[in-house]
Chains A and B, each alone.
Chain A
Amino acid sequence: MVIRIMAKLKSLEDFRDEIDQCVKCGCCRAHCPAFGAEKHEGRVARGKIALADALLNGDVEMEERFLLDMSQCLLCGSCYAQCPNKVHTEDIVAATRREIAKRKGLSTFGKGVGTVLKNQGLMNLLAKGGGAFSKLLFKKIPEQSGLRLRFPAPFISSDRTLPPLTAKPFRERHPEIIPGDVDKPTVLFFTGCGINYMYPDSGEALLKALKFIGVTVIIPKAQVCCGLPAVSAGAAGTVESLAEENLAVFKRHNYDYIVTACASCLSGLSHVYPGMGEQFDEYQDKIKDIFVFLVEQEFAEKLAELPKVEKPIRVTYHDPCHLRNHGITKEPREILKALPQVDYVEMEAAGTCCGLGGTYSVYHYDTSKKIGAKKAGFIQESGAELVATDCPGCIMQLQDSINHADGRQRAVHILDLVAEALPD
């Protein structure tokens, strides 16, 4: 039985006060990755807020330039992080995109995302067929595997590096409950699409880490996409129904925490969901990024006890926007630094966006590549062999950017390195 609890996203009208909070100081110009690449006022938070305001006041039509400007946002929240008045431009843009969808209908792409994400069977089918077509389409396939379903095939540029989809999705490989020690906490693992379909090995790595400390893991089969790609596409109905399904899943099980190993999912669960109604509030204290959870469980200390490797690999860290925005910057680094095979090095501008930005990279691959090229440069300058992060989307984009820059580095999930360090 599916329990239906209504979830409702805010409308653009609900953001009027937030829009008024923008004083047009221009600070966002220093921090917006899209503006950094294009240098047009329509690309930056301040411009988008002016446009959203004009739309609410009937001063602008949803014409080509307006739509372009509104599509030119990665929803990364870099502007919010630095905004003196803490205006959530990413929420205002998402609400504007929903308004566009409401008045003009979802774009073909938005519709595609909606259909695919809402349909488990289609997701699995696509996953199974993915390996074959990806070989034809993609110029270079890195060792890490997977394909993000937020990128339907017809929209993918042929020079993008994408990993193939896994033949057997992560959640199909395991029973719903993997018991651990009775005196240890129980966690619900919210896998997200990235790990389920693209990077199942990172999911396996998470299980290995949690088994190592005796934690019981629940992997609900009925969980669905967090909805963040649909937020990006302006598909309000999709976001709401996905949230409702996940809420039903959260209610059905008993656990101490919900853990994610994907920054975007964390943001979906702990930033987007609370905006849809009080019914999500009770889960907010339970939702944790995996590295925050591991640090709380004193995992870094346990890693430090492992014998050091003689020739460690040099590794740097990329902050996913959706962790940085939630103030999670220390914990992933703490785990990385504690790993016996890792020689950690900090790169310049570790906290700037990789350039993926949900559906952004599909619409604006050229701009996305420009943003990624900067990142690839910083990775190269750091002298690291590996760039580790905590978000499948970032991993994919980082690898693509590195390949375009003819770099030799690999992008990996921190969990992959954790699993490598732990005894079998």
Chain B
Amino acid sequence: MLNREFIAKLQEIVGKEHVETDKADLICYSYDATQRKFLPDVVVHPGTPQEISRIMQLVNEHKIPVFPRGAGSGFTGGSLPTKGGIVLVMTRLDRILEIDEENLVATVEPGVVTEQFQQAVEKVGLFYPPDPASLKFSTLGGNVAECAGGPRCVKYGVTKDYILGLEVVTPTGDIIKTGGPTMKGVVGYDLTKLMCGSEGTLAVITKIIIKLLPLPEAKKTMLVLFDSIDGAAQAVSAIIRGKIIPTTLEFMDGRTIDCVRQATDLQVPDDAQAVLIIEVDGDREFLAKQVGKISEIIKPLGVVETRVAETPEESEALWQIRRSVSASLRKVNPDKFNEDICVPRSKVPEMIRKIEVIADRYDVPIVNFGHAGDGNIHVNVMIDSKIPGEQEKADKAIKEVFREALALGGTMSGEHGVGIMKAPFIPMELTKTAIDYMKTIKKALDPNNILNPGKIFPSDG
């Protein structure tokens, strides 16, 4: 427990109503989408960068850890207050400060919800592509901190590709700017990129300068059913080799489709063993041509059925199958461990085959779906953790999946980050020397290790 004097100082900085210590409030900020729970000592809702700066100075005096939080929708525990201390809720900073139509640049505060920002820029014909599945509720600050991805990344890249500059509060309480609103800029180290994906361990983000694109005129969605996962995987490579980069290339494997069949009344033919959802965007007249070309390319690869949406409503209906996956999986098995490995996209078929072998070896159902176009596979190990021994089997299978992904030149996380969930595994991917350099950077910025400690690295060094 923190002493009364310390709480009083926090109240003095942000105002009494923005400091919470009641048990009910602490419980409400104790979790994220990992479903792990860690009770903080106090929840603080700051309203300005200056307040955050003063908080950081104060906690350095008292050596109290601080855990920044956006929507708390992360999958790896990046925002969890694993060591008690302060949860710093960033959602009061939720203004879109500027949308500059001349320079195609916007400036926002970190608490802005991603979809609300997208809608705001789309109203003036502009486009912010990164689209994590959580975009309706996750915040841009959280997206930057985790370097969020999404289905559209095949064509458009991930969050960091759109971040031109930041304003951050450092762990010691300095307010600094990194980068700026220009398209080019090479003065000094690129601290902006360093902050993107640093999982809230290096600084608290207080302003974000974002690059925008013109909004594509239209999009077209196709749903293609294949008689084998190989056919679907080859289709992905063939499309890309055919010099077409779709906006999204989502796939679902046979086990995923089985779950959807069991749990919903959506119509999927029995001989479909894999599904690809392919979306293309651009000028209207250009799209029909692209859809024709894609159909032509994939025709010899065991296509069972192709459905093409002509209207937004029809497109939505096609996406229903993909959107029903999460709930369907849960109906089949209560506990789901969702990993998000990423391999070079040509290696997707090989990776899927390896995962099937692992599933058999450890006798655990593993279902795969995700972003085939960029090699980012969501590997879901399904168990009932109440059954003794199941958790151990799942842990072993997951470790094996990481090993295979790395062997194929991939990574253990494409977009979810490390947090606490993958921290024990990172020595599999990074050498000790590389980890030590990262820790040196962390220590230089945060000498007292008070900003989001216990994340990313296997143990606090």
Contact = CB atoms under 8 A, between A and B. Distances in A.
A234 to B, nearest CB: 17
B327 A59 contact: no
Given A50-B30, A85-B330, A60 B23 contact: yes
Contact of A26 (B23, B24, B72, B94): B72
Interface in A60-100: 60-61, 63-66, 69, 84-86
Given A23-B330, A26-B33, A63-B23, 8 more contacts: A23-B33, A29-B137, A30-B113, A30-B115, A60-B23, A60-B24, A66-B24, A69-B24
Contacts of B137: 26-30
Contacts of A26: 32-33, 71-73, 134, 137-138
Contacts of A29: 71, 73, 137
A347 to B, nearest CB: 16
Given A26-B137, A63-B23, A50 B35 contact: no
Contact of A54 (B27, B138, B326): B27
B115 A60 contact: no
B72 A41 contact: yes
Interface string B79-114: 000000000010110100000000000000000010
B327 A85 contact: yes
Interface in A1-42: 21, 23-31, 39-42
Contact of A25 (B23, B73, B115): B73
A396 B371 CA distance: 47
Nearest to B326: A84
Nearest to A25: B33
Given A27-B137, A29-B137, A30-B113, A42 B25 contact: yes
A51 B27 contact: yes
A344 B143 CA distance: 40
Contact of B136 (A27, A46, A51, A63): A27
A399 B92 CA distance: 31
Contacts of B25: 42, 65
Interface string A217-257: 00000000000000000000000000000000000000000
18 contacts: A23-B330, A25-B73, A26-B72, A26-B73, A26-B137, A27-B134, A28-B137, A29-B73, A30-B115, A39-B91, A42-B25, A50-B27, A54-B23, A59-B23, A63-B22, A65-B23, A66-B22, A66-B23
Interface string B149-185: 0000000000000000000000000000000000000
Contacts of A41: 28-29, 72, 89
Interface of B: 20, 22-25, 27-35, 71-73, 89, 91-92, 94, 113, 115, 134, 136-138, 326-327, 330
A259 B79 CA distance: 49
A60 B27 CA distance: 9
A407 interface: no
A24 B35 contact: yes
Contacts of B115: 30
Interface in A178-195: none
A287 to B, nearest CB: 23
A86 B94 CA distance: 29
Contacts of B92: 39
A66 B327 CA distance: 29
A112 interface: no
Contacts, number: 82
Contacts of A21: 330
A27 B134 CA distance: 7
A44 B390 CA distance: 33
A159 B30 CA distance: 39
B134 A42 contact: no
A64 B22 contact: yes
Closest 3 CB pairs of A and B: A26-B73, A30-B136, A65-B24
B401 to A, nearest CB: 21
B28 A42 contact: yes
Nearest to A62: B24
Contacts of B327: 84-86
Given A23-B35, A25-B73, A64-B22, A69 B113 contact: no
Contacts of B138: 26
Nearest to B330: A85
Highest count of chain B CB atoms <10 Å: which of A31, A47, A64, A86: A47
Contacts of A42: 24-25, 28
A170 B44 CA distance: 53
A25 B137 CA distance: 9
A176 B94 CA distance: 57
B365 to A, nearest CB: 18
A109 B94 CA distance: 36
Given A25-B33, A25-B134, A47 B23 contact: no
Highest count of chain A CB atoms <10 Å: which of B28, B33, B71: B28
B444 to A, nearest CB: 33
A172 to B, nearest CB: 46
A147 B113 CA distance: 39
Nearest to A20: B334
A39 B24 CA distance: 16
A24 B31 contact: yes
B71 A51 contact: no
B320 to A, nearest CB: 13
A252 B174 CA distance: 76
Contacts of A30: 113, 115, 136-137
Contacts of A59: 23, 27
B134 A69 contact: no
Contacts of A63: 22-24
Nearest to B134: A26
A84 B327 CA distance: 5
A41 B136 CA distance: 16
A28 B71 CA distance: 11
B136 to A, nearest CB: 4
A23 B326 CA distance: 11
A61 B73 contact: no
A349 B35 CA distance: 31
Nearest to B91: A39
A93 to B, nearest CB: 14
B257 to A, nearest CB: 18
A275 to B, nearest CB: 21
Contacts of A40: 28
B24 A51 contact: yes
Nearest to A61: B23
Nearest to A66: B24
A78 B34 CA distance: 23
Given A23-B35, A27-B137, A30-B137, A50 B23 contact: no
B73 A69 contact: no
A31 B113 CA distance: 12
Highest count of chain A CB atoms <10 Å: which of B27, B35, B113: B27
Given A30-B115, A64-B22, A47 B35 contact: no
B33 A24 contact: yes
